[in-house]
Amino acid sequence: MIKAIFVDFDGTVYSHKANGIPASTIDAIKTLRENGIKVFLCTGRAYPELWQFDLSELILDGMILSNGQLILDGQGDIIYHNPIRGELKEKMIRMFNEMRVPLYLGTKDDLVLNFTNDFIVSVQEEINSEMPVVKAYGGEDFYMASAFIGDETARKEVMALKEDAEITFWHDGAVDIVPRGVSKALGIDEVLKLFDIKLSETMGIGDGENDIEMFRHCSISIAMGNSPDYVKEAADYVTDDIDDDGFYKALKRYELI
């Protein structure tokens, strides 16, 4: 019996083609919760990135943010956090200050960007996201970094962090960076402990590279029809495209709504 569902944001809940959340998805999540099934957003997005979207109809039991680094309850209060520390933090701050790669650091309440170029502007426009404000890093705890690698030099510099970091692509030229061993799966485990839910009672729904660990971890995994082929191959079931009510149809197939 499924008691908790973990859902990605971009391309799973939020359609960038329609620039909004499909009505069928809103209805499905509402029905899930009415049926006693908890629903958690499970995204690589930093918390401040979500503020620009109208999520007023998206009522959730909590959010796993920054690929598992920060977890909030349904009221937005922190119930788990794991800020980046040690050598990886030092490397990220050095990369931020050297300003060879556009990079923003995701804190609880802010996105701190080192500089802009045409490439980061184009990527942010593609995902209907506002540009973070360029500012100096002031020493705040941060949970994740996002790097924009528009050329081979930037790519090599970012990939050199792999010894200490998990690097996952969410765009052909953009990656999320978290500490080695961190993934959405670890964030899911923290939620399960807090709510006393078994892993065998979970479902994960997503469409991107950073959802693969979630797929491997949850009891049932569903890839959206708009997922790349390698993501579909990692899932138990592939539903329709987000813009063809794929989220709603998947839950109907499993008789959860």
Q: Please report, in tens digits, the pLDDT of each residue of the chain (257 residues total).
A: 999 999 999 999 999 999 999 999 999 999 999 999 999 999 999 999 999 899 999 999 999 999 999 999 999 999 999 999 999 999 999 999 999 999 999 999 999 999 999 999 999 998 888 899 999 999 999 999 999 999 999 999 999 999 999 998 888 899 999 999 899 999 999 999 999 999 999 999 999 999 999 999 999 999 999 999 999 999 999 999 999 999 999 999 999 99
Looking at the structure, tell me whether residues 95 and 175 fall in a common domain. yes
Based on the structure, what is the number of domains in the chain? 2
Looking at the structure, tell me whether residues 9 and 24 fall in a common domain. yes
Look up the CATH number of the domain holding residue 20: 3.40.50.1000
Looking at the structure, tell me whether residues 225 and 208 fall in a common domain. yes
Nearest CA to 188 out of 67, 13, 77, 107 is that of 67
**H or E stretch at 29:** helix 23-34
Looking at the structure, tell me whether residues 191 and 221 fall in a common domain. yes
Q: Which of 133, 157, 179 is the last residue of a domain?
A: 179
pLDDT digits (tens, 9 = 90+) for 160-190: 999 999 998 888 899 999 999 899 999 999 9
Report the amino acid identity of residue 115: F
- Cβ atoms of 20 and 242 within 8 Å: the answer is no
pLDDT of residue 176: 93
* Strand residues in the chain grouped as ranges (E): 4-7, 38-42, 62-65, 70-73, 78-81, 103-106, 111-113, 144-148, 165-171, 174-179, 202-206, 220-223, 237-238
pLDDT of residue 172: 86
Q: Which residues, at least 6 apart from 94, have a Cβ–Cβ distance to it below 8 Å?
A: none
pLDDT of residue 189: 97
Looking at the structure, tell me whether residues 90 and 49 fall in a common domain. no
Q: Which residues span the domain enclosing 19?
A: 4-82+182-253
pTM of the shown model:
0.90
Q: What are phi and psi of 96, to 5 degrees?
A: -60, -50
Look up the CATH number of the domain holding residue 134: 3.30.1240.10
Looking at the structure, tell me whether residues 168 and 92 fall in a common domain. yes
d(CA 135, CA 10): 26
Looking at the structure, tell me whether residues 120 and 95 fall in a common domain. yes
pLDDT of residue 62: 97
Distance of CA 7 to the CA centre of its chain: 9
Distance of CA 166 to the CA centre of its chain: 14
- Cβ atoms of 154 and 143 within 8 Å: the answer is no
Looking at the structure, tell me whether residues 103 and 169 fall in a common domain. yes
pLDDT of residue 127: 85
Q: What are phi and psi of 155, to 5 degrees?
A: -60, -45
- Cβ atoms of 215 and 205 within 8 Å: the answer is no
